[in-house]
């Protein structure tokens, strides 16, 4: 017999206090629902503690060093900054500490959320054990996130491996950092550490940023090489050994570009992907299906148990697509669940216009398909471009790398946009809105953009759709005819 004090009945029980879970809990409780939130580790999840916040704080400090290196070309002089790596990491910790109270158990309890700091596992389809409490709820929301996935490399267990979960708390600056993985995390961290003074070798088994448009990636690759990052593409790590000195790592490579090579460094960062966190939940007891990509959900984020939703990084792909693990998408998921669980409104996940930003310098941002993906789906498309080298604001700052690239369908509808350049993530928002609202390219071409701003590149790219119409021979004949009229 279960004692009454151990029983807890609620409207919504959220498992996981990362970005997705916190958004559901805060939104639901402020709308009048009874909410239980269960978290076994730190509130705020990866984004606050070991992901978005510390990585962008590190990138900001690395960028400051890089900006100082540009002083001579801008006609400025002064002593180059000295990097105090320990102080840099202390500063990152302070940023996290400044945000942490917003995500803390105390704040959520003050909102009226019942916070249980314990492990969680399902007892059956309707009950959850959280610590020593048994929770029943009208709806459960699984938001347990993801964690780094280590590749199957011989001997990797014999060397010290950093992931995003440890790299930001290590106060020791690497003399030579080896980064394994050419995705967003690997590329961002490679550039940041190089700017802070470490030698960096980036090793990837495929191409750099393989899910992005190669034309845009070429700009990032060129910048990394120019800044001194050694980039080894098509080079697969097959074995890891400690260095003869006893610390650090020796990576043995294979592949078309890496056969027989050995890369040595005193620190190794592995950024080769992530896997959903589902272990320990006993999802089988709850009737929740899981596959290799994560918890299986439909387009409304419902699991195979109609009482249970799953959101954020722990889910697999939707409608056959690959999983997308972004903090902003987790927030979107939270809104979809709240609309259904509280208001009984049908809601589906947005899949056409999900923005993504890689926070290198310059940034790479995209919404919608790449050019190759768009051609595979739509066949004949138009590709419009405008380089930042022809934008006055970029010229004044002498930061002219990159371009705006827009994909347009047969009837003028905007299908996708990619930007590589300074502030690309901010410039992307207008294209996201255009795609969501199913606008045609003329709407963007007709914008009045403030001068001088980088947004001019977006307007100019859109205007390319009408260049031939406006300045072609037919237009010139028409103008000559009209000018003859009295």
Q: Is 181 annotated as a binding residue?
A: yes
Going by C-alpha positions, the residue among 99, 89, 91 that lies closest to residue 168 is 89
Tokens linked to 35:
């909410």
Q: Is 412 annotated as a binding residue?
A: no
Q: Is 320 annotated as a binding residue?
A: no
Length of the chain: 486
Going by C-alpha positions, the residue among 275, 295, 300 that lies closest to residue 283 is 295
Going by C-alpha positions, the residue among 283, 2, 307, 285 that lies closest to residue 134 is 2
Q: Is 357 annotated as a binding residue?
A: no
Is residue 416 a contact partner of residue 369, using CB atoms and an 8 Å limit? yes
Q: Is 119 annotated as a binding residue?
A: no
215 burial type by CB count under 10 A (0-12 exposed, 13-18 middle, 19+ buried): middle
Q: Is 56 annotated as a binding residue?
A: yes
Q: Is 185 annotated as a binding residue?
A: yes
Is residue 105 a contact partner of residue 43, using CB atoms and an 8 Å limit? yes
Work out the number of other CB atoms within 10 angstroms of the CB of residue 212: 21
Q: Is 183 annotated as a binding residue?
A: yes
d(CA 323, CA 96) in angstroms, rounded, equals: 27
Phi-psi region of 470 (alpha: psi -120 to 50; beta: other; left: phi over 0): alpha
Q: Is 182 annotated as a binding residue?
A: yes
Q: Is 273 annotated as a binding residue?
A: yes
Helix (H) or strand (E) holding 184: helix 184-195
CB crowding 443-466: b at 16 or more within 10 Å, else e: ebbeeeeeeebbbbbbbbbbbbbb
d(CA 300, CA 139) in angstroms, rounded, equals: 14
d(CA 386, CA 365) in angstroms, rounded, equals: 15
**CA-based end-to-end distance of the chain:** 99
Q: Is 313 annotated as a binding residue?
A: yes
| Residues pairing with 254 in the sheet | 236
Going by C-alpha positions, the residue among 30, 300, 315, 339 that lies closest to residue 22 is 30
Q: Is 298 annotated as a binding residue?
A: no
Q: Which residues participate in the annotated binding site for FAD?
A: 56, 144-146, 313
Q: Which residues participate in the annotated binding site for NAD(+)?
A: 181-188, 273
Q: Which residues participate in the annotated binding site?
A: 56, 144-146, 181-188, 273, 313
């Amino acid at each position: 017999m279960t004692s009454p004090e151990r029983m807890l009945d609620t409207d919504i029980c959220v498992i996981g206090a990362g970005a997705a879970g916190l958004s559901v809990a805060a939104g639901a409780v402020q709308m009048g629902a009874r909410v239980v939130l269960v978290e076994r580790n730190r509130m705020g999840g990866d984004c606050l503690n070991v992901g978005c916040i510390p990585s962008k704080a590190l990138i900001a400090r690395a960028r400051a060093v890089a900006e100082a290196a540009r002083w001579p070309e801008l006609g400025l002089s002064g002593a180059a900054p000295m990097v105090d790596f320990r102080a840099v990491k202390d500063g990152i910790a302070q940023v996290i500490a400044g945000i942490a109270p917003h995500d803390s158990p105390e704040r959520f309890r003050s909102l009226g959320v019942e916070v249980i700091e314990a492990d969680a596992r399902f007892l059956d389809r309707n009950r959850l054990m959280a610590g020593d409490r048994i929770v029943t709820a009208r709806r459960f929301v699984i938001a347990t996130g993801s964690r780094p996935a280590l590749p199957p490399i011989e001997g990797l267990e014999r060397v010290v491996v950093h992931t995003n979960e440890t790299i930001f708390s290590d106060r020791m600056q690497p003399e030579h950092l080896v980064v394994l993985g050419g995705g967003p995390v690997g590329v961002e961290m490679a550039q940041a550490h190089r700017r802070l003074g470490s030698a960096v070798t980036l090793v990837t088994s495929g191409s750099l940023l393989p899910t992005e448009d190669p034309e845009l990636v070429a700009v990032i690759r060129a910048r990394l090489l120019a800044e001194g990052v050694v980039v080894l593409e098509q080079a697969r790590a097959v074995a890891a050994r400690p260095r003869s000195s006893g610390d650090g790592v020796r990576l043995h490579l294979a592949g078309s570009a890496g056969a027989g090579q050995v890369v040595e460094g005193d620190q190794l960062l592995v950024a080769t992907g992530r896997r959903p966190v589902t272990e320990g939940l006993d999802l089988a007891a709850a009737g929740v299906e899981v596959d290799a990509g994560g918890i299986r959900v439909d387009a409304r984020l419902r699991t195979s148990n109609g009482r249970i939703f799953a959101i954020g990084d722990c889910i697999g792909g939707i409608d056959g697509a690959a999983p997308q693990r972004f903090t902003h998408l987790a927030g979107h998921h939270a809104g979809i669940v709240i609309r259904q669980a509280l208001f009984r409104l049908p809601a589906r996940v947005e899949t056409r216009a999900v923005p993504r930003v890689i926070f290198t310098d310059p940034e790479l941002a995209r919404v919608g398909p790449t050019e190759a993906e768009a051609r595979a789906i739509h066949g004949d498309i138009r590709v419009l471009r405008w380089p930042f080298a022809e934008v006055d604001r970029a010229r004044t700052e002498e930061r002219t790398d990159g371009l705006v690239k827009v994909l347009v369908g047969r009837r003028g509808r905007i299908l996708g946009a990619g930007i590589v350049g300074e502030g690309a993530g901010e410039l992307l928002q207008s294209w996201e809105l255009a795609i969501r609202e199913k606008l045609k390219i003329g709407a963007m071409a007709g914008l009045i953009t403030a001068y001088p701003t980088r947004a001019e590149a977006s307007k100019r790219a859109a205007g390319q759709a009408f260049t031939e119409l406006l300045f072609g021979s037919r237009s010139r004949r028409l103008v000559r005819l009209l000018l003859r009229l009295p």
